[in-house]
Structure 1
Amino acid sequence: MSWTNNKIKEEAQKDPNFMMWFEEETNKLDIAVTMTNLRVGLGLTQREFAERVGKELSLITRIESGELIPSFKLINEIAHAVWKNET
């Protein structure tokens, strides 16, 4: 087991809420990386991406920084806007 996995296990044993927090943070990171990769793959700046999907730049920035977990509705809106502009 890696050092990281050992630390996660150790913290989870100390604090029963740790795993819930850890999973939420992992989800934020996954979404942030996915959104950033999508935008970069399209060759767009954050501003250009925000304009393309019809959202505020600050919203895109908060998602990509992991500060905000977007709702499924918001993810769906962004996906449809990207798809619409790509076809």
Structure 2
Amino acid sequence: MTITLWKTQTDEPVKFDRKTNIGLHHLALRVENKGELFQLLDVLKANQIEVEFEPTFIREGPSMHMMCYEPSGIRIEFYYPG
């Protein structure tokens, strides 16, 4: 599968607000294991990608997720089902 995300053509992209904007709220991608989730976090940080929140349990676990922003402001969720 290939997913292409294009950076906006403006210097000041508008952050998405799910209550006032029409459009994509976020894109969720599943990872195979918890280790991959933390590896992705390291890659995001090394590339100075804004992380909204680091890997955290969903409810009491064992599933986990984290959220970041791609360069034009789209939220990307990485999800480990546990």
TM (norm. structure 2) is 0.30
The structure in which a higher percent of residues are helix is 1
Larger Rg: 1
Where relative contact order (Cα < 8 A, 6+ residues apart) is larger, the structure is 2
The structure in which a higher percent of residues are strand is 2
TM (norm. structure 1) is 0.29
